[in-house]
Structure 1
Amino acid sequence: MAQPGTRPKATRCGPQQDGQCRDSLDHSRVTTRRHVLLTLLLLVNIDAADWPRWRGPANNGHAPAATPVLSSLPAEPRVRWQVPAGPGLASPVVANGVVLAFDNQDGRETLRALDAQSGGQRWRAAIDEPFSDSQGPTGPRCTPLIDGDRAYAVSCRGELQCRALKDGGLLWRVNYVTNFGATFIGEKGNTPGAARHGNNGSPLVDGDHLIACSGGPNGAGVVCLDKFTGATVWKSLNDMAGYAPPVVAELAGRRQVIVFSADGVVGLDRRDGRELWRVPVKTAFARHVATPVVVGDLVITGSHQSGLLGLRVAPEGSGFRATTVWTNQEAAPNFSSPIAVGDFVYLLGPSKNVICVEAATGTIKWSESGLFTTSADKAFGGFLVVGANILTLTDTGELILFAANPAAYRELGRTQVAGVNWCNPAFADGILYLRDGLKRDGSWRAVVLGE
């Protein structure tokens, strides 16, 4: 929640001002109170229905408590609407009656605001020129986010823009390359992480700040920006960016930003960005994709080469220490992110099997094969938690519902909702918002799962 206090002057910036302010307006005490009230109202709205950012309102893949409980899936789910989608890998988000669809339109990475009820386009805004490589579609790969009356999007090449949710007007912009010195090379040589295949890790809004893995040198590997103005609050690390987004969590009594960079897993002090701990992780091309999950004092993430890692964070003297307490190669994540329910983690394993892992020990409790038909090196599943059950959308567009039960795999239903898919769905108010297709002839669609 945003903390009351003196706000910096609001800005509405032009495309050449790179995060600097123009048309400054005096933020009086009344305006400050309005921001606080708006934040409270937005939290209520999020609790009711919205899925406004990567992996949901809390960035952990859990649907809000008010979401309709799913105990089964319809055999033939009703498609409320669908609209054509251009190439891309960005997932949809929905809040305040708006679905953000980020894809390639007319040769530009383009953010579109669609009406959540009808799919009708409210506005569109070109963000950047597209990026192309041998691994994916020529389109954006970073999921946008909605925060109150603002929308944020990052292009493959590192153009970060904040736009008004109501009409798409540009409020401010920064660029990871020009503002923070990040390197973007493309698919050449041994280039690691986001510098190779483009920015995939969505920024994170926390209170009045937006935190992004910019990948810049000279202490600008991670940046914390004022979400209203784009002004830099703090910068940290020299790490190049991986593909995973940052996560904010309470660990060992300290609120921390957890980053899976091209160099490893790092914990930063949320207040000032100071590095608190680090666990190096080295893999070929720094293919670090899995969003970290936090279970108690454990950070759980990993890659196809490092295996799934359990990292315990604890106070040590005046600082902190992170220790790798377990490693499990048989549960190594590739492109998909794990999800935590209670003391257990569920994920897609290296043999395209769905796995339940005990967080404390890394022990596999069960493994279920046969749910994914794509080759193991390309298999993808988008996992989300709805009540006591888990939904996963496979890379062939099949939706599977199973119980979040560490004792055994128990399937509750499955149904076909799309074709080829490598994007996480959004689930809000009984509607599953997803993208069908990656490169051509795809669509954004809203599928009714619960009335």
Structure 2
Amino acid sequence: MRFNCHSCLSGFSLILIISALPAAARSEESPIATWLQWRGPQRDSQVEGPAWPPALDVEHLQKVWSVPLGPSYSGPIVAADRVFVTETVDKETEVVRALDRQSGKELWKISWPGAINVPFFAKSNGDWIRSTPAFDGERLYVAGIRDVLVCLNGADGQEIWRVDFAQTTGAKLPAFGCVCSPLIDGDFVYIQAGAGLVKLDKYSGKIIWHGLRDGGGMYGSAFSSPVIRTINGQRQLLVQTRKKLAGVALDSGEELWSQEIPAFRGMNILTPTVIGNSVFTSSYGGGSYLYTLNNGAATAEQRWRNKVQGYMSSPVVIDGHIYLHLRNKRFACINIETGQEAWVTKPFGKYWSMVAQGDRILALDERGDLLLIRANPQQFELIDKRHISDEPTWAHLAVCGDQLFIRALNEQSMYRWK
């Protein structure tokens, strides 16, 4: 049975649905930029909008509001009039809040029990909620650390449904908690949970299929988040498990092709990056790879391998080059055609989240540094840098028009370009 919220959401949902329309379908007088899922509109950290200013100083980038929160690694979800954030309180409760986009004022809050103790070698990165939610204009989909997916009414926070994957599928709880960020496509939502890949009806939470199962526990819980792309004319789900990269049929969950990706302790974390009919990935303990998919054949051919190793930061692609933050904390530019590094920098922090616009990259280092970079394959070109938080900034930043939403470990802030 589908939840019908047209009467209670008529005005609110209309605004949000309009905000999700293509630019050509919106009024030129009032475009509303949003960030409704992991890595932005197309799940590739590429954005359009007004040109970014030439500097990050207080003259060009000003803090508008900041709200204290409990710890979380979830990136903010930015709708037309509100921002959805998560937190873990007292190491035992997961909380979701809706904040007014312009002021940071709390609109609603909902919570549920949710906590897990991650393995000792990951303790330094915390036991709190990790997954970035997704929003379809009416419903917010939040993955809790204990392998649950909760669907909330975006207007008031009321729970519509929830699925506990450990109970429903019999899978073991993931050792590192649920990390994958849900993906909405039409009437369905996809997530790597239940020690596999799951497709659900987004209105009811009914599981349509459950594939790519690999046992759960230490090596069964995926770190990566899926994307949907068309390769060789076939629309498919691109998924990276702890062991392999795969293309999956949306309707059936059938594995179309797969390629083993070597990694230390299964640290395949990056979101797969599709470039034409090829897929790029990079793993901790493995290397960087570009695979080309043969038309009509269920195989992936390795086009090249580079020894540089990615870690947690998914790359951005600009003008024939891959810009990737590495396991050794350095930043690299890789030529797509040859697989060779154009350059590699000195070390920065452990993790970057990046957003690209044209030939500009905005990178948020986990040490609280914001960097504005020109994408230049000839040399690393840092335009400006600004320290914006003394707290760790592991969550993915969001850029919506002239607004920047930055989630530090214990606060959510909104900045505005000037």
TM over 0.5: yes
Which residue number in structure 1 is paired with residue 111 of structure 2? 126
Pairwise CA distance, 1:44: 4.0
Output the aligned Cα RMSD.
2.3
Q: Which structure 2 residue ranges, 5 or more long, are not aligned?
A: 7-12, 215-219
Whole-angstrom distance in 2 between the partners of 1:73 and 1:159: 41
Pairwise CA distance, 1:99: 0.9
Whole-angstrom distance in 2 between the partners of 1:126 and 1:244: 25
Q: Does structure 1 residue 196 correspond to structure 2 residue 175?
A: yes
Letter matched to residue 105 of structure 1: V
Matches within 5 A, 1:338-417: 338-370=315-347, 372=348, 374=349, 379-417=350-388
Name the CA shift for 1:156/1:38 in 2 (closer, same or farther; >3 Å): closer
Pairwise CA distance, 1:36: 11
Whole-angstrom distance in 2 between the partners of 1:360 and 1:233: 39
The counterpart of 2:300, out of the listed 316, 322, 334, is 322
Name the CA shift for 1:37/1:79 in 2 (closer, same or farther; >3 Å): closer
Name the CA shift for 1:321/1:346 in 2 (closer, same or farther; >3 Å): same
- 8 Å contact 1:153–1:162 — kept in the other structure? yes
Matches within 5 A, 1:2-401: 9-11=1-3, 42-44=20-22, 48-63=32-47, 65=48, 67-76=49-58, 77-106=61-90, 107-133=92-118, 134-184=123-173, 195-216=174-195, 221-239=196-214, 240-316=220-296, 319-330=297-308, 332-370=309-347, 372=348, 374=349, 379-401=350-372
1:23-55 residue CA offsets vs partner (Å, 9 max, x unmatched): xx9x9xxxxxxx999856632489741011110
Letter matched to residue 281 of structure 2: T
1:162-208 residue CA offsets vs partner (Å, 9 max, x unmatched): 10111001111112211223211xxxxxxxxxx22111110111122
- 8 Å contact 1:417–1:447 — kept in the other structure? no
- 8 Å contact 2:16–2:80 — kept in the other structure? no
Name the CA shift for 1:39/1:166 in 2 (closer, same or farther; >3 Å): closer
Whole-angstrom distance in 1 between the partners of 2:345 and 2:46: 22
Which residue number in structure 1 is paired with residue 10 of structure 2? none
SS in 2 for 1:336: coil
Pairwise CA distance, 1:418: 1.8
Pairwise CA distance, 1:380: 0.6
Letter matched to residue 104 of structure 2: G
Pairwise CA distance, 1:138: 2.9
- 8 Å contact 2:193–2:222 — kept in the other structure? no
Whole-angstrom distance in 2 between the partners of 1:297 and 1:401: 30
Whole-angstrom distance in 1 between the partners of 2:229 and 2:342: 26
Pairwise CA distance, 1:234: 2.8
Which residue number in structure 1 is paired with residue 9 of structure 2? none
Whole-angstrom distance in 2 between the partners of 1:412 and 1:347: 18
Which residue number in structure 2 is paired with residue 423 of structure 1? 395
Name the CA shift for 1:263/1:405 in 2 (closer, same or farther; >3 Å): same
Which residue number in structure 1 is paired with residue 412 of structure 2? 444
- 8 Å contact 1:85–1:435 — kept in the other structure? no
Whole-angstrom distance in 2 between the partners of 1:444 and 1:54: 16
Whole-angstrom distance in 2 between the partners of 1:223 and 1:157: 16
Whole-angstrom distance in 2 between the partners of 1:259 and 1:347: 19
Whole-angstrom distance in 2 between the partners of 1:81 and 1:37: 23
Whole-angstrom distance in 1 between the partners of 2:397 and 2:113: 24
Pairwise CA distance, 1:71: 4.0
Letter matched to residue 54 of structure 1: W
Shifted more, 292-301 versus 174-183: the winner is: 174-183
- 8 Å contact 1:418–1:435 — kept in the other structure? no
SS in 1 for 2:166: helix
1:295-321 residue CA offsets vs partner (Å, 9 max, x unmatched): 1111111211111111111224xx421
Shifted more, 45-54 versus 76-85: the winner is: 45-54
Shifted more, 349-358 versus 52-61: the winner is: 349-358
Structure 2 length-normalised TM: 0.88
SS in 2 for 1:196: coil
Whole-angstrom distance in 1 between the partners of 2:322 and 2:190: 25
- 8 Å contact 2:65–2:414 — kept in the other structure? yes
Which residue number in structure 1 is paired with residue 217 of structure 2? none
Letter matched to residue 226 of structure 1: D
- 8 Å contact 2:15–2:80 — kept in the other structure? no
Pairwise CA distance, 1:271: 2.7
Q: Which structure 1 residue ranges, 5 or more long, are not aligned?
A: 1-8, 13-24, 28-34, 185-194
Shifted more, 49-58 versus 98-107: the winner is: 98-107
Name the CA shift for 1:284/1:423 in 2 (closer, same or farther; >3 Å): same
Structure 1 length-normalised TM: 0.82
- 8 Å contact 1:260–1:292 — kept in the other structure? yes
Shifted more, 50-59 versus 232-241: the winner is: 232-241
SS in 1 for 2:299: strand
Letter matched to residue 312 of structure 2: F
1:359-401 residue CA offsets vs partner (Å, 9 max, x unmatched): 233211122225x1x4xxxx11111112321110111111111
